[in-house]
Amino acid sequence: MTTVKIPPATKFSLGRIGLFAIIFVVLLAVPMPMSRDTGLLVRLMIAAIVSAIASWFLLARWRNQMAATLETSMAKRRDEKEKLRAALAGDDDPKDVRSRN
């Protein structure tokens, strides 16, 4: 059996959507003294706010993993950009540039 590694950004995003959906469904059971459309909008807004706050605490580990992944990829892109600029400026040996690709 093979395991599939889910990227941290996907886990965090699905976690946020899941929290929102669960809170919204729970709020549907709460009676509100207003019209149906207004009550739905109020429930959506409450679910968005509560899920954002809950995800700050409940999904902190996934958020930190996602941030670390983004930082790693940004550092890698920065390094590649610097190497490309150096090669274009003539500061690098063209053979070294071709061997990296």
Q: Tell me, what's the pLDDT at 45?
A: 97
What's the pLDDT score for residue 93? 56
Which residue do the tokens 């706050």 mark? 53
Per-residue model confidence (pLDDT) at position 97? 47
Of 20, 4, 3, 14, the residue nearest 63 (C-alpha): 14
Residue 20 and residue 47 in contact, taking contact as beta carbons nearer than 8 Å:
yes
Both tokens of 57, joined, read: 């605490």
Residue 27: per-residue pLDDT: 95
**Segments of the chain scoring below 70 in pLDDT:** 92-101
- Cα 74 to its chain centre, rounded Å, is 15
Query: What gap in Å lies between CA 60 and CA 66, rounded to an integer?
Result: 10
